[in-house]
Structure 1
Amino acid sequence: MLINAQIIAEIKAIIAEGKEKAIRAVDHQRTLMYWHIGKRIFEEEQQGAARAGYGEYLTKYIADQLEPEYGTGYSRRQIELIRQFYRTFPIANTLYSQLSWSQYKLLIRIESEDKRDFYIAEAVKNNWTVRQLERQIDSSLYERLLLSNDKDSVLAVARGDKQPSDAKEIIKDPMYLEFLGLRREASYYEKDLEQAIITHLQEFLLEMDNGFSFVARQKRIHLEGDEFFVDLVLYNRLLQCFVIIEIKTHKLTHQDLGQLQMYVNYYDRVEKLDRENPTIGILLCARKNDSVVRFTLPEGTKNIIASKYEIYLPTEQQLIEEVNKEIEKRNPTE
């Protein structure tokens, strides 16, 4: 009976994989069909470019002719999206079969080519769903990574052209935990925040991004009769190291950094294998003082990072302003 059950489980897995591949193949063909439609619209539009308002007239005319027969998938709004799709991606062989039409509809809203390339690379590499891609765009992942890195480095890591050599290349500051459903005005304990993260672990790992997996929570450490508990332990397969996360619902203190450093030292000396890289510690706090971090830790320390968390999403403009401030700090005018 055990053997039969195993066979059925394996067959079900094959069926599920086959269905997923079939759905992806059909969706990719639909994406290519929209690309060809967009190309034809663009060619016609170019022929009538001299006539004022011809493009607007053309999309309306096509929608009026197609929608009654083919349905709302060919409404005027949809025809305009198809037209924009071709304009954004004019080379057919640059389209990814891993990305669905729904994902491309999100991507064509992004005006910056670098930013769009970043989200394409991340979506393909991490196999993001439509919802995951939308969340990362809405939470301004690209801008947040730019706060601590240069543009070329962010794009290179996303595309897989280089492996991250520094934790700051993939760890965000701030982190946005709006998916936890915590109210901004409410007060809560660290255990409440930790439990909310465990409840929404998939979303939390998505926010962490790039190769993180869950190892343990409240990991007990015995040191000569004293017990300590590490809030969260993750592992990063890209950096090939343990990642210790301590959660603080108050403003960061130098004692918090000292505690985290002790946990990192323990993992480096007891848990880490010789082939693995040094452990990284992340202090996830409600508020932080960068000067306290700088003067508490030894100069040049790269494996202890303080990251502020927010429980609501910022506007894109707010993050762009922060990025511009950071760029000005790095490149002060003479």
Structure 2
Amino acid sequence: MGKEALPVKPIFLTDIRNIINSARHNAVRSVDYCRVQMYWHIGQRIFEEEQQGKERADYGTYLIKNLAKSLEPEYGSGFSYRQLAFCRQFYRLYPIVNAVRSQLNWTQYRLLIQMDDPDKREYYELEAVNNGWTAREMERQIHSQLYERLLLSNDKEAVLAVARKKRVPQTPQEIIKDPMILEFLGLERKAEYYESDMENAIITHLQQFLLEMGNGFTFVARQKRLLLEDDEFFADLVLYNRILRCFVVIEIKTGKLTHQDIGQLQMYVNYFDRKEKLPEENPTIGILLCSAKNDTAVKMTLPEDNRTILAS
């Protein structure tokens, strides 16, 4: 009788899968980086050739157009006039090849080189590397004006210092955006929503929601039960932020914010500070996610030194 086949151990199978997936990922990254390097060198060569005819104002335009006519039939649309113009701009913005990051692909660099503001360009470049953004996620953050939203409550140097990893965020305002853009929830345009509709949509798109919230967020609980004597209360969402080292309680309000909503959230924050928070952790943050708010009402309802309750 032949020997029976032994079952593959799960941990062994997992190890082999990890090796295969890692090799495939590295192969794609290697191809992407080689492509970026190719376009950089093309841009460098175009720029050098262009400088030889610098006395002619339109020489660069004609040069690229004629080059595209020669290359495109042979190599395809990746060498069109527009693409070659991007190559030249790429080299001009990144004249040192060592400044080109291997973590970013050509699609991401195309998004970056279309930005006129160098600080804005640097911010998205650094954050894409720091957070491992795909090209699609990077494009979404740009179109939702992440940089501009952070500047509404922070100064430019502080925002760039965090992206450069020269400082750690100290306040919720440095991480949490106001307003938040939640188009990925896929909710239809309706006059009214129940809070449960939005909560369900957030849970369905949890990864994207955590990315929109900011850096360092992890999921803790949904409809967290809080028992105060004989009364039950339920916090909509509870997160934890590893950077700020604190709990984050989120209440969803689809109508206009009221002072009663703020008072309820303050109670939840107090509960977590007194019952859940460890001594070495920082005070709990409360966020009211609402469709409309009155900033003056928020300020008048909360203490002047409030740093833990936010409405977005």
TM-score by length of 2: 0.95
- Once residues 157 and 257 of structure 1 are traced to their aligned partners in structure 2, the CA distance between those partners, rounded to angstroms, is 30
CA offsets per residue over residues 21-41 of structure 1, 9 Å max, x none?
Answer: 121122112111111110110
Match of residue 123, structure 2, among 118, 143, 149: 118
TM-score by length of 1: 0.89
Structure 2 gaps, min length 5: 1-5
Shift of 1:306: 0.9
Match of residue 132, structure 1, among 127, 131, 137: 137
Aligned to 1:145: 150
Counterpart residue identity of residue 62, structure 1: L
Counterpart residue identity of residue 45, structure 1: E
Shift of 1:73: 1.1
- Once residues 40 and 278 of structure 1 are traced to their aligned partners in structure 2, the CA distance between those partners, rounded to angstroms, is 56
Greater RCO (CA < 8 Å, at least 6 residues apart) = 1
Percent pairwise identity:
64
Aligned to 1:247: 252
- Once residues 145 and 151 of structure 1 are traced to their aligned partners in structure 2, the CA distance between those partners, rounded to angstroms, is 9
- Assess if the C-alpha contact under 8 Å between 2:235 and 2:250 holds in 1: yes
Aligned to 2:3: none
CA offsets per residue over residues 217-271 of structure 1, 9 Å max, x none?
Answer: 1011111111100000111111111111000011111111111111111111111
Match of residue 44, structure 2, among 39, 42, 49: 39
Aligned to 2:272: 267
Shift of 1:3: 6.3
- Once residues 165 and 270 of structure 1 are traced to their aligned partners in structure 2, the CA distance between those partners, rounded to angstroms, is 23
Aligned to 2:233: 228
Aligned to 1:326: none
Shift of 1:52: 3.0
Aligned to 2:311: 306
CA offsets per residue over residues 35-83 of structure 1, 9 Å max, x none?
Answer: 1110110011111111131111000111112112212111112111111
Shift of 1:305: 0.6
RMSD, aligned CA: 1.2
Aligned to 1:217: 222
In the TM superposition, 1:268-283 aligns within 5 A as 268-283=273-288
Shift of 1:182: 2.0
Structure 1 gaps, min length 5: 308-334
Aligned to 1:4: 9
- Once residues 89 and 112 of structure 1 are traced to their aligned partners in structure 2, the CA distance between those partners, rounded to angstroms, is 14
In the TM superposition, 1:308-323 aligns within 5 A as none
Match of residue 167, structure 1, among 143, 163, 172: 172
Shift of 1:2: 7.3
- SS of the residue corresponding to residue 166 of structure 2 reads coil
- Once residues 291 and 249 of structure 2 are traced to their aligned partners in structure 1, the CA distance between those partners, rounded to angstroms, is 17
Aligned residue pairs total 307
- Once residues 132 and 305 of structure 1 are traced to their aligned partners in structure 2, the CA distance between those partners, rounded to angstroms, is 25
Counterpart residue identity of residue 30, structure 2: A
Aligned to 1:55: 60
Alignment of 1:108 with 2:113, yes or no, is yes
Aligned to 1:69: 74
Alignment of 1:88 with 2:93, yes or no, is yes
- Assess if the C-alpha contact under 8 Å between 2:177 and 2:214 holds in 1: no
Measured at CA, do residues 271 and 22 of structure 1 come closer, stay the same or move farther in structure 2, by a change above 3 Å? same
